[in-house]
Copies of this chain bind each other. A is one copy, B any other.
Amino acid sequence: MDESEKLQTHRRGSGVSTVYETLRNEIIELKLPPGSPIDEQQLSDRFALSRTPIREALVRLAAEGLITTLTNRATIVSNIDFLGLPEFFDALTLMYRVTTRLAAANHAEGDIAAIRVRQKAFEVAVTNRDVLGMISTNRDFHIAIAQAGQNRYYVELFTRLLDEGRRILRLYYSSFNDVLPRQYVGEHEEMIQAIINRDVALADSLASAHADQIVGQIRSYITADSRQNARLAL
């Protein structure tokens, strides 16, 4: 564990959000893998805080579904719910579509620039073959679009879904190839153009196709047949 945060003295009220954000990131990046036990005492030592603020951060994480608390027993990082994957895909696809539509309809001064920054970062990650970077910059790109759409309900749900998606993708990130990501860059570019032109219908269909791509990719990872000797002659 990194002990650098142990020394700094916290200003009042900042502690909780620091713990919250740190843990949140570590959970999403699978630094804390699903099922990991969360020990309050340990976190208390690590952040040099009493258990009370730690606890508050944990309550917030639990409200988001990132951790699961077994009453009076243990609290662990939530497992990835593979059985609920179809629901997840459905909601994810819907949010891709709605946010992109709204961005085309509602985007204001400056939104496009923000989206372009994220797209640039994604491109860099792709050319560097930085898989982890691709996953997180892709998320940022789509959240920027959602923000341009000006609907906080969608932004919130979409953020949750994309972050849950990050966890899943991390599990399989070794099987990432750079063919599809390359294609994503182009698809992103088309989406930006549709948004600029305020072409809602086109934005929708592009987002829909994009979502299908991503969902299809995740599904292929999960159901991948990696048996080395599946076709071995016996």
Contact = CB atoms under 8 A, between A and B. Distances in A.
Interface stretch (A22-30, A85-93, A108-116, A196-204): A85-93
Nearest to A160: B153
Interface in A105-157: 150-154, 157
Question: Dominant SS at the A interface?
Answer: helix
Contacts of A56: 55-56, 59
A152 B157 CA distance: 12
A91 B155 CA distance: 11
A98 B94 contact: yes
Nearest to A156: B157
- In the complex, the count of this chain's copies comes to 2
A153 B52 contact: no
A161 B153 contact: yes
Contact of A153 (B72, B87, B98): B87
Contacts of A150: 87
Given A63-B64, A84-B152, 10 more contacts: A13-B72, A56-B59, A59-B63, A87-B150, A87-B151, A87-B153, A90-B102, A94-B98, A153-B160, A153-B161
Interface of A: 12-13, 52, 55-56, 59-60, 63-64, 71-72, 84, 87-88, 90-91, 94, 98, 102, 150-154, 157, 160-161
Give the top 8 A-B pairs by smallest Cβ distance, nearest first.
Answer: A91-B153, A63-B63, A87-B151, A59-B59, A13-B71, A56-B59, A60-B63, A157-B157
6 contacts: A13-B71, A52-B52, A56-B59, A63-B64, A90-B151, A91-B153
